[in-house]
Amino acid sequence: RQSVLEMAVALHGAPPAAGELAAVDDLRVPGRADLEAALEGDVPDGGPYARPMRDLLAARPGRVRDMLARYDALAAEADPARAVLTHGEPHPGNTMHTPHGWRLIDWDTVLRAEPERDLWDLDPGDGSILAAYAEATGVAPRPRVLELFRLRWEVADLASAASRFRAPHAGDADDDATWEILAAQAGAAG
C-alpha cells in the first residue's frame, strides 16, 4: 500500500502539462440508462439472467434509486479545481516491480479528477494512508469525495450488469461472474 501511495503521490504531483491529453472525469456512469430502464422493468428477455435481474431489481428499486440519488448529490459537490492526473485503479494488481523500483501499469483508466479517485480503495480503513497522503501532498482527502468514488464503483457495477443482461447473452462464465457482482451489489443496496 505504501508503494502504491508513493506512486499516486508522484502522479498527482505531476505538472499540469503531463495531463493535458488526459480527459477530465465527467463523473458519468456508463450504462446508467440501462440500469434506470431495468429499474422500471424494461428488461428484454435476451438471455438467462434477464428475468432474474428484473426480479432482483424489482425487489429493491427504492434502495438502488437511493444509491443513484446519493451518487448524484455527491457528484454535484465535485470541485474540478482540485483535479490532478489520476490513474483510476492504483492497486497492487496494477503494479510491477522493475529494476528501477515499483511502477504503476494498466493506464487505460487515466483521467484528470479529484485525488480521491485514486485514494478511496487504497486506505485499509484506519486512515493511515489518507493521513500519509495529506502529509506528503498538503492535500487532505475529503470524506464525501471518497464516498463519491466508492459509491461510483458500486453504481458502475450495477449499471454494467444491467447493460449486459438487457442485451442478448448466453449465460457463459462471464455472465455468471457478472450475476454474482449484481447480486452482491444489489444485496448491499438492500
Q: Which of 173, 175, 145, 157 is nearest to 64 (CA)?
A: 157
Q: 41 to each of 34, 38, 105, how far by Cα in Å?
A: 10, 5, 40
pLDDT value at 123 more than 80 = yes
Q: Tell me the pLDDT tens digit for each residue of 52-96.
A: 999 999 998 998 999 999 999 999 999 999 999 999 999 888 999
Helix, strand, or coil here: 187?
helix
Q: What is the predicted pLDDT for the residue at 188?
A: 60
This prediction has a pTM of: 0.91
Q: What is the predicted pLDDT for the residue at 190?
A: 45
Q: What whole-number distance in Å separates Cα of residue 51 and Cα of residue 29?
A: 23
Q: Tell me the pLDDT tens digit for each residue of 152-176.
A: 999 999 999 999 999 999 999 999 9
Q: Which residue has the cell 480503513?
A: 125
Q: What is the mean pLDDT of the chain?
A: 94
Taking a C-beta distance cutoff of 8 angstroms, is the pair 13, 137 a contact? Answer: yes
